[in-house]
């Protein structure tokens, strides 16, 4: 197995620092694994966690994820936050689900599993052949975490998929995606081509109503790994006519490129003349007032939008050129039969 980069395993509160990896040992029924220190942003170590890649009868009782928080740092949901970061890495390895198990008497660990979104499958008796039984353990609570969904949504934070399955239920479209890396970009690239729509989608702009989704329109989508935005470039008959950038709380890019992301409300639109416009600032302010987003998430959205605008002002022409290049690449792959039909 190829171990993947882990530089993006961080949020506002913790950072997972890779300590080591271990290869599979089939003779012992061990799968490949990552081992991390859980650290505060200033580098202070507060615990550890690990992720085991794969599924087996042994792992059903031992789980894919293990964690521990030092006593002085408990009570801040750091274990739950570490699990959610590990889910991101598990998705990159194309795991559809992971299991976490805990002792029924460990109420703090079971609460962590509940907070992280786990479904309790059962309290299982550990078989005599398992090394946990040899250690004297008798039962474990088995929690399952579905990784096929976008990250859990909450008010103000909406989980979305690169193929936009949440939208356009009345539209026929083709979709193709890849995980891609070159000197300018690393992440997921998707191309969505509308082949038929019951009703075209239009939006208000400074120049009047603009149709952004209809037969023959392509959406090229870029989800940078570890970034906090998603770029959608819209093409009509091969001509780039609008760029729309969603600010995001996090991006998850698995090996097949079918990215997931959490929309952080604020958007930047690049108009036809290349000038940027910030959208939905009032919705961002409202979400902060209501407590739907934190002050840190609010600041992240604003800072990302500022960075995006600055980058476009400096490199707008080069960005447009790369977008045309990526669209040509994706359209070629769709003609070769790798597109998904809806």
User: Token match 């599924």: residue?
Assistant: 55
- What DSSP element (H or E) covers 172? strand 171-181
Angle, alpha carbons 38-41-43 (nearest 5°): 65
Could you give the CA distance from residue 24 to residue 295 in angstroms, rounded to a whole number? 42
Structural domains of the chain, with CATH: 15-146 (3.40.630.30), 158-341 (2.40.380)
Q: Are 49 and 38 in contact (CB under 8 A)?
A: yes
Res. 108: pLDDT tops 90: no
- What does the pLDDT look like over 208-252, one tens digit per residue? 778 888 888 999 999 999 899 999 999 999 999 999 999 999 898
Residue 268: helix, strand or coil by DSSP?
A: strand
Backbone conformation region of residue 117, classed left if phi is above 0, alpha if psi is from -120 to 50, else beta: left
Could you give the CA distance from residue 188 to residue 221 in angstroms, rounded to a whole number? 8
Three-class SS string for 171-220?
Answer: EEEEEEEEEEECCCCEEEEEEEEEEEECCCEEEEECCEEEEEECCCEEEE
Tokens found for residue 186: 């690393």
Q: What does the pLDDT read at residue 42?
A: 93
* DSSP summary character for residue 136: T
Sign of the CA dihedral 137, 141, 145, 146? Answer: positive
Confidence of residue 339 (pLDDT cuts 50, 70, 90): very low
- What does the pLDDT look like over 174-215, one tens digit per residue? 889 999 999 999 999 999 998 887 778 877 666 677 888 888
Residue 325: CB atoms within 10 Å: 12
The residues pairing with 141 across neighbouring beta strands, listed in sequence order, are 102, 123
Could you give the CA distance from residue 76 to residue 21 in angstroms, rounded to a whole number? 27
Question: Which residues make Cβ contacts (< 8 Å) with residue 49, sequence separation at least 6?
Answer: 16, 36, 38, 65, 66, 67, 68, 79, 82, 83, 86
State the Rg of the chain over Cα: 22
Could you give the CA distance from residue 164 to residue 213 in angstroms, rounded to a whole number? 12
């Amino acid at each position: 197995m190829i171990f993947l980069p882990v530089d993006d395993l961080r949020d506002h509160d913790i950072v997972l620092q890779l300590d080591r990896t271990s290869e599979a040992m089939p003779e012992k029924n061990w799968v490949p694994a990552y081992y991390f220190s859980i650290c505060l942003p200033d580098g202070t170590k507060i615990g550890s966690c690990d992720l085991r890649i794969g599924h087996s009868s042994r792992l059903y009782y031992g789980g894919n994820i293990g964690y521990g928080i030092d006593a002085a740092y408990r009570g801040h949901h750091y274990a739950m936050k570490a699990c959610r970061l590990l889910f991101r890495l598990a998705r990159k390895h194309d795991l559809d689900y992971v299991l976490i198990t805990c002792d029924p008497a460990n109420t703090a660990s079971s609460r962590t599993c509940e907070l992280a979104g786990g479904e309790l499958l059962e309290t299982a008796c550990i078989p005599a052949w398992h090394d946990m039984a040899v250690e004297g353990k008798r039962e474990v609570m088995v929690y399952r975490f579905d990784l096929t969904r976008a990250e859990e949504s909450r008010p103000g934070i909406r989980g979305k998929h690169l193929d936009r399955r949440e939208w356009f239920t009345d539209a026929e479209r083709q979709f193709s995606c890849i995980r891609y890396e070159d000197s300018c970009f690393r992440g997921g690239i998707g191309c969505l081509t509308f082949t038929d729509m019951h009703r075209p989608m239009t939006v208000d702009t400074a120049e009047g109503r603009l149709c952004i989704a209809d037969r023959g329109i392509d959406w090229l989508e870029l989800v940078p790994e570890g970034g906090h935005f998603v770029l959608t470039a819209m093409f009509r008959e091969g001509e780039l006519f609008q760029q729309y950038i969603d600010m995001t709380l996090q991006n998850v890019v698995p090996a097949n490129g079918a990215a997931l992301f959490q929309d952080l409300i604020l958007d930047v639109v690049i108009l036809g003349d290349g000038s940027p416009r910030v959208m939905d600032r009032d919705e961002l302010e409202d979400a902060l007032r209501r407590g739907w987003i934190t002050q840190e998430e609010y600041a992240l959205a604003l800072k990302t939008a500022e960075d995006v605008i600055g980058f476009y002002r400096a490199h707008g022409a080069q960005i447009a050129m790369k977008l045309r290049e990526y669209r040509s690449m994706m359209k070629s792959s769709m003609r070769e039969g790798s597109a998904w039909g809806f």
